[in-house]
Chain A
Amino acid sequence: MPDPSENWGVTMLKLNRELDKEKVLGTLNHNRIYVFLVIVVILMSIGAPGFMRSSNITPMLKTSLLPILVGIGFSYVMIGGNFDLSVGAMINVGALMVMGEFNRFYAIFGGEPAGAGAVVGAWIIAFLIALAAGSFFGLINGLLVAKGKVHSFIVTIGMLTTLSGFVYTYSKGNTISANSYLLVDIIEKPLLRVPYLEFFTMRSIITILVLVFFELLLVKTSWGRGLFMVGSNKEAAWQAGIDMERKLIWTFVISGFTAALGGILFATSMNAAVPNYGERGINPLMLVLASTIIGGTVMTGGSGSVVKTAVAVITIQAIFNGLIGMGLGFDTQVLAAGVLLGSVVLYEAYVLYKQSLRKGERPAMLPEAEELRHKHRA
């Protein structure tokens, strides 16, 4: 008859090893986006000649700025357990309104003869109006979702249509360009003329600051921790005394704000805005949705990170950039993005499915149970 204590020791060892393995895999999955980025960069620098050159990296990172900003709000909304499909239209609202309002106030302030004062004043007012517009439309989304109890998908898809009609009406279908080139020179000028650091312009620094602010808000404040709770379990959040509705409204306001800010900075860097940005070419919604999910934000809400979404945006842009470097066309990019998004959604869904099959199991409790059984046997 074998010694039960030896058996027990072996079982414990096996269990511990399995738990350790799970822990390592879990950590790896948690930080998969960084691993993914490294792999993509290595592959692309092998496959695409000149990928790591400063002249290639800088524009690539600059292209990521807009989706990074939009991704902030999108991640917030998703962590809260909702969707914001209207971000694409919000970008256009921000971009067109900042240009249109600038021209209006520039003319009111006296235009060219009035000098730099008129330009600065008009830009400040235009920025405020455009940001307020984005936040306002976000607020309507949030109110309808949180107070009206309408599904976020329906609200935001309705908002998307309304706003895309609005931007066309606002711009009369034309491209709007600002009548002054002062700001674009400031905002797009590299601060340092050093290779690889040319990326740092006013625009990218604003983006990074906003990103850091919202990451800290999410991770370091009780408000942000509460949002995680709302996303993962509304009932529990309510029991804990969290004002769930107000939080959800804020997530939509943040989404409108960041999307409008992204549009504003994008438009000012071009000094022009079009009403149909994102209708041709890669849909910004697809890019942001893919990055948010690849970045580890759980589709059902309750978990996620703004910085990881940003890293995922850069990863996807690196893939696009590398594909161009390999001599493949724009259509391949669209396909690659779609397949990437599809496979990540599928993977996430498979993991959730596996989890749901094991619902109620407590692997961490197994050693304890085994110990009890051993004692009982002895």
Chain B
Amino acid sequence: MSSINKDIRKTSHNNFTVIVNRFGVFFMILVLAVIGMLVSPNFLKASNLLNILNAVSYLGIVAAGISFVIYCGQYGDLSAPMTMATTGVICVEFMRYGLWYGIIAAMITGVVIGLLNGFVIGKLRVNAIIWTLAMNFILEGLVRWSYKGTQIYPDMATEKTYTTGFFLPLMAKLDPHIMELDLVSRAAEFNALATTYPGGVPLVLYVMFGVMIVGYIIMSKSTFGNQLKVVGSSFDVGKMSGINATRTVMFAFMMSSLFASVAGIFMTSLNQVGAFYIGQGYDFQAVTAIILGGMSLAGGRGSMIGVFGGVFTLGLISNILTLMGVGTFTQKMITGAIFITVVAVNARSLRKLGRDYA
């Protein structure tokens, strides 16, 4: 009987491939650290390491969200880039009433997008890739159409932006005094989000660690995480064992969009502009980090610690290549090649474990 009550997450095989899958990324970090020390004496300095972490903190927040989706067996959330852009724009719109209004409005938008994704994918069983890609394009269309393809600056509101599009004229109709609000000081408050360093460490880094710890607790310590694992391993088995599988998938996508919206707020604050291209490429990078971190695309395997490892690895690779003087585009190429290799090796080791399709 005790086997029934056992936490399924603690089942382990003492197998070499399992160890490689689980801790391989940290071994990779070790190797990269050694290479980094050989490449440059500045590598191990605290400021450099902090820089690496700071550079990947946005990615870390997004990856923490998408890892829920992948853990749930749904391949990925390709709507993350436009979720970031949309929520950033919404935040810029609403922060004129106060910073917290903006942040809360952006997060609510994220939750709504995620619930919509989750409903369509969890209930109608659409392929997650196709639907989130479609969602990405719909959101892109919405943002571009609403702002006529222009960017919006937190400290600037022109007459033109309030007469064209959809969101702004609506807001202007609801609140005729919108043009008279004090934008400049609010914008300064908003723009400072990404550049505050409480205790010498950027705020966004605290947020990343906070998000990852929350994610770790939900994924690996709560009952809900257990349900997520069952649904991720097999949707039908989850359903048959009495789990509300649709709700579980919806929750996973909600987490993904919510975290993407947090990253979107910081990203917009960093760029000091809200636009449709904020967050481009973050979907692929996040999936790369997650897969590097040992999470299986088949769902139900991996942990948030691995995701952090994957994110940190990407930061290290980029940092070392920069120290070596390699250009951005070549870096992109190398990252892609590493990604494909790692995935292929991972798939191979999983097949040895008796699992098809990584």
| A positions within 8 Å CB-CB of B | 83, 85, 144, 148-151, 153-155, 157-166, 168-169, 173, 283, 285-286, 289, 293, 299-300, 329-332, 334-339, 341-342, 345-346, 349-350, 352-353, 356
Interchain CB contact (< 8 A) of A160 among B123, B284, B348:
B284
CB-defined contacts of B336 to chain A, threshold 8 Å? 158-163, 165
- Which listed residue, A83, A283, A335, A342, touches B145 by the CB 8 Å rule? A335
The CA of A342 and the CA of B336, in the complex, are separated in Å by 29
B82 to chain A, nearest CB (A): 9
Chain A proximity of B224: nearest CB distance (Å)? 25
Q: A161-B288, A342-B135 are in contact. List 11 more A-B contacts (CB 8 A).
A: A150-B343, A159-B340, A162-B333, A162-B339, A289-B130, A330-B149, A331-B149, A335-B138, A346-B126, A349-B124, A353-B125
- Contacts A349-B126, A353-B124 given; does A165 touch B356 at CB 8 Å: no
Whether B145 lies near A331 (C-beta < 8 A) is yes
A158 and B126 contact, Cβ closer than 8 Å, known pairs A149-B357, A151-B358: no
Task: Tell which of B88-96, B212-220, B324-332 binds the partner.
Answer: B324-332
> What does the 1/0 interface line of B31-66 toward A look like (CB < 8 Å)?
000000000000000000000000000000000000
Q: Is the CB of B140 within 8 A of A345?
A: no
A83 with B129: CB separation less than 8 A: yes
Q: CA A133 – CA B327 in complex, angstroms?
A: 23
Give the complex CA separation of A342 and B287 in angstroms.
Answer: 23
Chain A residues contacting B347 (CB-CB under 8 Å) are 148-150
Can you show 11 pairs from A to B with CB atoms below 8 A apart? A149-B358, A150-B343, A158-B340, A162-B340, A164-B332, A169-B327, A283-B137, A335-B141, A339-B138, A341-B134, A342-B135
B141 and A338: CB pair below 8 A? yes
A153 to B140, CA, bound (A): 21
Instruction: Please give the number of chain B residues whose Cβ is less than 8 angstroms from any Cβ of chain A in the complex.
Output: 49
Smallest CB gap from A348: residue in B: B126
Instruction: Identify which of residues 90-140 in chain B touch chain A, using a CB-to-CB cut-off of 8 Å.
Output: 120, 123-127, 129-131, 133-135, 137-140
Closest 4 CB pairs of A and B: A162-B336, A165-B333, A335-B141, A165-B332
Asked if B19 is at the interface (CB within 8 A of a chain A CB), the reply is no
Q: Contacts A337-B137, A342-B134, A356-B125 hold; do A153 and B339 have CB atoms under 8 A apart?
A: no
The reply to whether the CB of B203 lies closer than 8 angstroms to some CB of chain A is: no
**Residue among B123, B124, B134, B335 facing the most chain A CB atoms (10 A cut-off):** B134
Which residue from A154, A155, A332, A345 sits with its C-beta under 8 Å from B130?
A345
**Taking the nearest CB of chain B, how far is it from the CB of A159, in angstroms?**
7
Give the residue name and chain of the B residue nearest to A170 (CB).
B329
What's the nearest-Cβ distance from chain A to residue B343, in Å? 5
> Are A151 and B297 in touch, CB under 8 angstroms?
yes
| Given A335-B142, A356-B125, A154 contacting B343 (CB threshold 8 A) | yes
In the assembled complex, B312 has its CB within 8 A of some CB on chain A: no
Contacts of A345 in B (CB 8 A): 126, 130-131, 134
B329 and A161 within 8 A (CB): no
Measured CB to CB, the closest approach of chain A to B167, in angstroms, equals 13
Residues on A with beta carbons closer than 8 Å to the beta carbon of B357: 149-151
- A353 CA to B357 CA in the complex, in Å? 24
B356 (CB) vs chain A CBs: closest residue: A149
In the complex, the answer to whether A144 meets B340 with C-beta atoms within 8 Å is yes
Q: Which residues of A contact B333 (CB under 8 A)?
A: 161-162, 165-166, 169
Chain B nearest CB from A84 CB (Å) reads 11
Q: Are B141 and A337 neighbours in the complex by a CB distance under 8 Å? A: yes
Cβ of B145 and Cβ of A332 under 8 Å apart? yes
> Would you give the shortest CB distance from A97 to chain B, in whole angstroms?
15
Q: Is A162 touching B337 in the complex (CB atoms < 8 A)?
A: yes
User: Are A153 and B129 neighbours in the complex by a CB distance under 8 Å?
Assistant: yes
Is the beta-carbon distance between A155 and B75 smaller than 8 angstroms? no
Q: Is the CB of B144 within 8 A of A334?
A: yes
The answer, yes or no, to whether B302 is at the interface (CB within 8 Å) is: no
The verdict on A158 contacting B339 (CB below 8 Å), with A148-B347, A356-B125 known, is: yes
Quote the shortest CB–CB distance from A252 to chain B (angstroms): 14
A93: min CB distance to chain B, Å? 12
Give the complex CA separation of A165 and B281 in angstroms: 12
Contact between A169 and B134 (Cβ–Cβ < 8 Å)?
A: no
Q: Please tell me if the beta carbons of B137 and A342 are within 8 angstroms of each other in the complex.
A: yes
Residue in B closest to A78 when the chains form the complex, CB atoms: B130
Residues in chain A near residue B131, CB distance under 8 A: 345, 349
B76 at the interface (CB under 8 A from A): yes
- A154-B291, A169-B333 known; A349 and B284 CB under 8 Å? no
The closest CB in chain A to the CB of B298 belongs to A151
A331 B141 Cβ-Cβ under 8 A: yes
Contacting residues, chain B, for A169 (C-beta < 8 A): 327, 329-330, 333
Residues of A within 8 A of B130 (CB): 83, 289, 293, 299, 345
Residues of B within 8 A of A356 (CB): 125
Which residues of the partner chain A approach B356 to less than 8 Å between Cβ atoms?
149
Contact check: which of A162, A329, A341 meets B137 at CB < 8 Å?
Answer: A341
Cβ-defined contact, B297 with A165, below 8 A: no
Query: How far is A299 from B145 in the complex, measured between Cα atoms in Å?
Result: 28
Indicate the member of A148, A158, A169 with the most B CB atoms within 10 Å.
A158
CA distance A163 to B125 in the complex (A): 31
Are A349 and B141 in touch, CB under 8 angstroms? no
With the chains together, A306 CA to B336 CA distance in Å? 30
Most interface-central of A85, A286, A335 (chain B CB within 10 A): A335
B70 to chain A: closest CB distance in Å? 10
B344 to chain A, nearest CB (A): 5
**B221 at interface, CB cutoff 8 A:** no
Determine if A335 and B125 form an interchain contact, defined as CB atoms under 8 angstroms apart. no
Q: How far, in whole Å, are A158 and B287 apart by their CA atoms in the complex?
A: 10
**Contact present for A349 and B138 (CB under 8 Å):** no
Q: Confirm or deny: B239 has a beta carbon within 8 angstroms of a beta carbon on chain A.
A: no
For residue B9, CB closer than 8 A to chain A, the reply is: no
B329 touches A168 (CB 8 A): yes
- B148 interfacial by beta-carbon distance below 8 Å: yes
Question: Is A155 in contact with B127, judged by CB distance below 8 angstroms?
Answer: no
Cβ of B160 within 8 Å of any chain A Cβ, yes or no, is no
Contact B344 A144 (CB under 8 A): yes
Measured in the bound complex, the distance between the Cα atoms of B332 and A350 in whole Å is 38
CA distance A168 to B288 in the complex (A): 21
